[in-house]
Chains A and B, each alone.
Chain A
Amino acid sequence: MREGPVIEVKNLVKRYGELAAVDAVSFEVERGEIFGLLGPNGAGKTTTIGVLSCLVKPTSGSAKVAGIDVTRDSLGARSRIGVVPQEIALYPTLSARDNMLFWGRMYGVAEAELAGRIDELLEVVQLAGRARDRIDTFSGGMKRRVNIAVGLLHRPEVLFLDEPTVGIDPQTRRSILELVKDLNDQGLTVLYTTHYLEEAEFLCDRIGIMDEGRMLAVGTKSELTALVGAESVITVRADGMDASLVNWLEPLEGVSDAALGDGDLTVSVTTGSNVLPPLVERLTSSGTSIHSIDVDVPNLEGVFLHLTGKSLRDEADEAPAEDPAGAKP
């Protein structure tokens, strides 16, 4: 297997007339990681995945999958990727097995290997007992799992999951996230688009934050939060705290602010600093009775707010369902 990044995107631009659905986007995805594209609807995530899946022709820039330029060798690139669209892209009147047989053949899986591969994947998605049942008799969650299994039939080097949990119940969402985690644990590289912060935080090794076609930042969660200088806030609720505690805290490395209120101590610290253990030790050694300690760690919501000046949750609620100019593949 080839060394180096599985996905390389450089200065990718996709324009629809005057509108730039993707504007000079660059990022790389390393082998074995889950890379998340996070942003509201219309941010350009689906168009980016469309270019990588060879569905959308870029206006300029380059995109490579497994070292193959998607515009120069579309068939070669497509044989290396597995695509799981947001919709249940299956034939509802056919059985799960017949669907997988067809898609396996389309992906060029050898006939001798195909039946075994289908059995294996149906086991993975826990649907071996329903192999011969028609898709239209399945629950929403079961359909989603078959939808993912189809994308894995040809052992792709990277799996594209385009908002696979949109519009589904929490239980199904959890099972899908766990499935993706399990697949990643087995070595599969995943490119995952979502506008749900929790999913990105839970799943992704690295995250690219997109808005209005631009890639605003790329990194691990801690890198992103550090990038914008975000701080964690420790709130201690205890009896018998006094001003000497504040004086003791202020010189400590990583502490930017400490304030004592009515039975509450609020300490602002740089994310990743190691202030909490000595603080707890000092409080217990001085005989202070601690009622509670809350640590408010900065999250991606804060990062998105910092980068765009708007809340991702509000954007997700208000944005249209499609990418600009119908860019959704």
Chain B
Amino acid sequence: MRKIIHITVLYLGVLRSDKSAFFWLLAMPIVFTFVTGFVYPSGGGRSGPVRYALTVVNLDEGGRGAELLAAVEEADEIDLLLLEEPGADSTAIALVDDGDRSAALIIPADYSAKIGGGAQATIKFHRNPERMNPLVTREAVERVLSRLNAEAMVVAGAREAYAELWGEPTEEKAAELTGRARSFVADAWERPPVTVSAETVGRTLEERLPPGGYSHSSPAMALMWVLLNGLMASSFLVSERREKTLMRLFTAPVRRSEIIVGNLAWRFVVGLVQMWFLIGFGALVFGVDWGDSPTALLLVTVTYIAAVAGLSVLIGSTTRTSRQAESLSLILSLSMCALGGLWWPLEITPKAYQTVGHLIPTGWAMDAMHNLVGRGYTLAEVAPQAAALAGFAVIFTVAATLTFRHE
């Protein structure tokens, strides 16, 4: 065991003496994460609540229209886009009809007057039938209106009851009645007498969508650069054979297994440090939520890096020159990134593409990352992906052990 540690420490020392290593291991992955995260569209997952835009035009001459908009704006899922120029109502309708906006809410000029006079007021919700967003925004508007309607009815009911019992209320009393009625409705809204307990079978559509933005780019680039750097390290083994340091090691009283494990171990340590640096950077700088289970994340990263280390030693053992090793590593890395869904989510690719993606480690690793980062899966839920990665690690390591040579 001591000799394995010494071999590992030696190679880490050799790596440390190469200044460019830090550039490729740490700086480049960050740059790529930033650039790709910037250009990836936001997707599903848990990267914060999704908000929908609603175009609004407030023609109301009183204050009740503004109150309505303020209440709508409080909804988590709505962003209001207010149009104020003359003829804004026509403009809003044209924008929706042309498909530039998905829906528009238009509050008429007599909105406050009608409510104040006890008449029925109508607001206009104009939607584009091709778009899904209006379903969400209309539901939010109707939810706000329900509350406002309930409030209005309770106020009116309270005033009517007061009038029947004690005569018409004074202005001061009317204001008090209105305040108390609104307070009553607000409390009732928070604690409704009847609630619906809804259960969703499996994951919701939103949870099943691949995460976007940095929630995709951060894990994807971490997996990509760990793979790329790990496989490129295969040429180090070729250099060791060329320089005869490996041969010298075989003439020392060191077991073959210790030499092989040492070669796997330093690659594993470098990959693990790089991966967790990028995970930490993603969390702190890009705000990526890496899920609820650090254990699951550790298991996935460990099995993935073990597979990469095994493949790196296998390439180093089966190629003759550094150029061969580097070329093969580059071709394999880039192919596995593309096929495994590191550059675009596998979920958006055809079935056959997804099948091919799962013949290589990156497909399973990216699945696991999406499950952890976007969907908050548990350790048990990512166990299949981790098992697949462990399988790749075993296959590559056995093949590397069988082909490992000093000449």
Q: A106-B254, A328-B407 are in contact. Are A55 and B249 (CB under 8 A)?
A: no
Inter-chain contacts of A94 with B (CB < 8 A) = 10, 13-14, 17
Q: Is the CB of B251 within 8 A of A53?
A: yes
B180 within 8 A of A: no
Interface string of B234-260 (1 = CB under 8 A from A): 000000000111011111111100000
Inter-chain contacts of B255 with A (CB < 8 A) = 75
Task: Give the one of A53, A85, A87, A105 with max B CB within 10 A.
Answer: A105
Distance between Cα atoms of A147 and B14 in the complex (Å): 18
Interface string of B26-70 (1 = CB under 8 A from A): 000000000000000000000000000000000000000000000
Q: Which residue of A lies closest to B248 (CB)?
A: A89
Nearest chain A CB to B407 CB, angstrom units: 6
Task: Give the one of B14, B17, B248, B251 with max A CB within 10 A.
Answer: B251
Q: Is the CB of B407 within 8 A of A326?
A: yes
Inter-chain contacts of A83 with B (CB < 8 A) = 248, 251
Q: Is the CB of A87 within 8 A of B253?
A: no
Inter-chain contacts of A91 with B (CB < 8 A) = 10, 14, 245
The number of inter-chain residue pairs (CB within 8 angstroms) is 69
Inter-chain contacts of A254 with B (CB < 8 A) = none
Interface string of B99-115 (1 = CB under 8 A from A): 00000000000000000
B143 within 8 A of A: no
Q: Is the CB of A107 within 8 A of B243?
A: no
B250 in complex: contacting residue of A54, A90, A98, A108, CB < 8 Å: A54
Distance between Cα atoms of A297 and B81 in the complex (Å): 108
What's the dominant secondary structure at chain A's contact region?
A: loop
- Number of residues on chain A facing chain B (CB within 8 A): 31
Q: Is the CB of B13 within 8 A of A55?
A: no
Distance between Cα atoms of A103 and B10 in the complex (Å): 10
Inter-chain contacts of B244 with A (CB < 8 A) = 85-87, 89
B243 in complex: contacting residue of A75, A76, A89, A329, CB < 8 Å: A89
Q: Is the CB of B245 within 8 A of A105?
A: no
B124 within 8 A of A: no
Q: Is the CB of B247 within 8 A of A85?
A: yes
Q: Is the CB of A106 within 8 A of B407?
A: no
Q: A75-B253, A326-B407, A328-B407 are in contact. Are A55 and B247 (CB under 8 A)?
A: yes
B18 within 8 A of A: yes
Q: Is the CB of A106 within 8 A of B6?
A: yes
A93 within 8 A of B: yes
B406 within 8 A of A: yes
Q: Is the CB of B253 within 8 A of A108?
A: yes
Query: Which residues of B (243-300) have their CB < 8 Å from a CB of A?
Result: 243-245, 247-255
B3 within 8 A of A: yes
Distance between Cα atoms of A107 and B2 in the complex (Å): 12
Q: Which residue of B lies closest to A98 (CB)?
A: B13
Q: Which residue of A lies closest to B9 (CB)?
A: A102
A78 in complex: contacting residue of B10, B13, B14, B251, CB < 8 Å: B251
Q: Is the CB of B245 within 8 A of A78?
A: no
Query: Which residues of A (129-145) have their CB < 8 Å from a CB of B?
Result: 134
Distance between Cα atoms of A69 and B280 in the complex (Å): 54
Distance between Cα atoms of A86 and B251 in the complex (Å): 14
Inter-chain contacts of A108 with B (CB < 8 A) = 253
Nearest chain A CB to B177 CB, angstrom units: 86
Q: Which residue of B lies closest to A83 (CB)?
A: B251
Inter-chain contacts of B251 with A (CB < 8 A) = 53-55, 78, 81, 83, 329
Q: A93-B14, A329-B407 are in contact. Are A107 and B252 (CB under 8 A)?
A: yes
Taking A55-B247, A55-B406, A87-B243 as known contacts, 13 extra A-B pairs with beta carbons closer than 8 A to each other, sorted by chain A number, are A76-B253, A78-B251, A78-B252, A78-B253, A85-B247, A89-B243, A89-B245, A89-B248, A90-B245, A105-B2, A105-B3, A106-B253, A106-B254
A-B contact pairs, 24 of them (CB 8 A): A53-B251, A54-B251, A55-B250, A55-B251, A86-B244, A87-B243, A87-B244, A88-B243, A89-B243, A89-B244, A89-B247, A91-B14, A93-B17, A102-B10, A103-B248, A105-B2, A106-B249, A107-B252, A107-B253, A108-B253, A134-B17, A329-B251, A329-B406, A329-B407
